[in-house]
């Protein structure tokens, strides 16, 4: 059984909250009683998620941010510090893939994947941990990685490289937090296919995405939100390092 009582009233920042896994996680953490801050470029989509449940914004905030822009990231953290005093939980969920093979891909697609999936995740982590240390040194950072950080499907080498990097960043941060005798936890979750816009965006084809989703019963964003809640709910001495989650019938 999951119990998030000790996180109630704490502030959780979810990047990539306008869609898919981030949107499901934002709503779930809101329902669990956390104050949630959702961030993505499509701010209006985040605002719409909790408009009915919290029309006056007493328990949530929607921020527009382009994570490719370092200044935008800094501004996002400044806004949260001014309004909420900082964050206690960081869900680094924003990310994207392009079908951009090494032999034929476009360098701008590689750059976007590296900027959002790796560089922005590093900056958000550094800023988020500054807040957590100020607020009692008991926070939790969760990176949304991928099964593609554990194996390389076909020509997805560059996307996979960004998720292998997330694995390195998870362990590297764990080492740094240990050296600093911090109580902040770091975890990753590595999903296989999840039914979100990620797949049609990757293949630049809605038809291809629907064909993939029809192969077997794929994971839903709420399945990943459940797993994130599980990691947060573990007692303070338990740190889940990386959860690999596949649909039961997925082969790869």
Ligand X SMILES: NC(=O)c1ccc[n+]([C@@H]2O[C@H](COP(=O)([O-])OP(=O)(O)OC[C@H]3O[C@@H](n4cnc5c(N)ncnc54)[C@H](OP(=O)(O)O)[C@@H]3O)[C@@H](O)[C@H]2O)c1
* Separation between Cα atoms, residue 94 and residue 121, nearest integer Å: 8
User: In angstroms, how far apart are the furthest CA atoms of the chain?
Assistant: 51
* Separation between Cα atoms, residue 16 and residue 14, nearest integer Å: 6
**Contact call for residue 215 and ligand X (CB under 6 A):** no
Among 106, 197, 206, 217, binds ligand X (CB under 6 A): 197
**Contact call for residue 116 and ligand X (CB under 6 A):** yes
Candidate segments 28-36, 78-86, 169-177, 186-194, binder of ligand X by CB under 6 A: 186-194
- With 0-12 / 13-18 / 19 or more C-beta atoms within 10 angstroms meaning exposed / middle / buried, residue 239 is middle
Taking residue 246's Cβ as centre, other Cβ atoms within 10 Å add up to 15
* Separation between Cα atoms, residue 148 and residue 141, nearest integer Å: 20
- Give the shortest CB-34-to-ligand X separation in angstroms: 18
Among 4, 36, 40, 188, binds ligand X (CB under 6 A): 40
Nearer to ligand X, 37 or 94 (CB): 94
Gyration radius of the chain's alpha carbons = 17
Among 12, 13, 18, 156, binds ligand X (CB under 6 A): 18
Q: Is 193 noted as a catalytic residue in this protein?
A: no
| Polymer length of the chain | 252
Strand 89-92 relative to strand 140-144, pairing: parallel
- Give the shortest CB-223-to-ligand X separation in angstroms: 11
- Give the shortest CB-120-to-ligand X separation in angstroms: 7
Among 42, 75, 178, 204, binds ligand X (CB under 6 A): 42
Q: Give, as ranges, the residues between 53 and 72 that touch ligand X (CB under 6 A).
A: 65-68
CA dihedral 125, 32, 192, 61 (to 10 degrees): -50
**Are 118 and 166 spatial neighbours (Cβ–Cβ below 8 Å)?**
yes
Among 12, 13, 20, 110, binds ligand X (CB under 6 A): 20
Residue ranges binding ligand X (CB under 6 A) = 16-22, 40-42, 65-68, 93-97, 116, 144, 146, 191, 193-194, 196-199, 201
Residues marked as catalytic:
159
């Amino acid at each position: 059984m999951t119990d998030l009582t000790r996180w109630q009233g704490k502030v959780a920042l979810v990047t990539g909250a306008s869609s898919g896994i981030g949107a499901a996680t934002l709503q779930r953490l809101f329902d669990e009683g956390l104050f949630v801050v959702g961030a993505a470029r499509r701010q209006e989509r985040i605002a719409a998620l909790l408009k009915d449940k919290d029309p006056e914004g007493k328990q949530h905030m929607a921020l527009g941010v382009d994570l490719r822009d370092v200044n935008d990231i800094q501004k996002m953290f400044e806004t949260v510090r001014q309004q909420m005093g900082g964050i206690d939980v960081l869900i680094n969920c924003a990310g994207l893939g392009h079908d951009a093979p090494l032999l034929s891909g476009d360098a701008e697609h590689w750059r976007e994947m590296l900027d959002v999936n790796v560089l922005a995740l590093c900056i958000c982590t550094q800023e988020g941990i500054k807040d957590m240390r100020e607020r009692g040194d008991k926070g939790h950072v969760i990176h949304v990685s991928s099964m593609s950080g554990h194996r390389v499907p076909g020509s997805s080498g560059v996307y996979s490289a960004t998720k292998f990097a997330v694995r390195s960043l998870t362990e590297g941060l764990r080492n740094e937090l240990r050296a600093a005798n911090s109580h902040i936890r770091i975890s990753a979750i590595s999903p296989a296919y999840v039914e979100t816009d990620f797949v049609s965006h990757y293949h630049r084809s809605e038809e291809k995405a629907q064909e993939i989703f029809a192969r077997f019963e794929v994971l839903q964003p709420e399945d990943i939100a459940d797993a994130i809640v599980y990691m947060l709910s573990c007692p303070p001495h338990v740190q889940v390092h990386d959860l690999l989650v596949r649909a039961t019938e997925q082969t790869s």
